[in-house]
Amino acid sequence: MDDFVAEDNKNPDGYEPFPKLFPYDTFEQTVGPLLHKNEENTWSFKFLVQQRHLNPLGRLHGGMVMTFLDHTLGGTAFHAVGNKPCITVGLHTNFVAGAKAGDWVVGTATVNRITGNLVFLSGELRVNDKLIATAGGVWRSVEFGAS
């Protein structure tokens, strides 16, 4: 399970790979593939837990949980502000349960408020019906190439 198996990740439940936006690999490509889909103007995100995502105890690493929450909430913020790049201002994570290799993790987020260039969101990660993490945070929309 160490290697990405294309067949296992091929459009599960209508999800598609996150597009490669730059001519080089970004962090998302190195930890992915990360998938997404839009249903009725609601975005959700998904990835398959692989051996490389695990901690020494054989469970999904907390750093990957936080990375995927950042991706889920940030991706939702991106779409909420008209597909403008957004950077993370703050992210608070709550670890609820674990996940193991072979699990599909699904992330969803809700926009709670948009004020000026700030987007306030909450979100969660699940494996099937099991809640594994929650988060809240703030993202700031920026002009492309700005930091």
* pLDDT at position 10: 54
6-141: what fold? Answer: Thiol Ester Dehydrase; Chain A (3.10.129)
Instruction: Quote the pTM value.
Output: 0.86
* pLDDT at position 7: 44
> pLDDT category, 2, cuts 50, 70, 90?
very low
The 3-state secondary structure of the chain reads CCCCCHHHHCCHHHCEECCCCCCCCCHHHHHCCCEEEEECCEEEEEEECCHHHECCCCCECHHHHHHHHHHHHHHHHHHHCCCCCEEEEEEEEEECCCCCCCCEEEEEEEEEEEECCEEEEEEEEEECCEEEEEEEEEEEECCCCCC
> pLDDT category, 131, cuts 50, 70, 90?
very high
Q: Which residue type, as a one-letter code, is found at position 1?
A: M
The string of pLDDT tens digits covering residues 35-55 is 889 888 788 999 999 999 999
* pLDDT at position 66: 97
The string of pLDDT tens digits covering residues 24-35 is 777 777 788 888
d(CA 49, CA 64): 9
* pLDDT at position 88: 97
**Is residue 124 a contact partner of residue 134, using CB atoms and an 8 Å limit?**
yes
Whether 95 shows a pLDDT value over 80: the answer reads yes
Can you give the residue ranges of every domain in the chain?
6-141
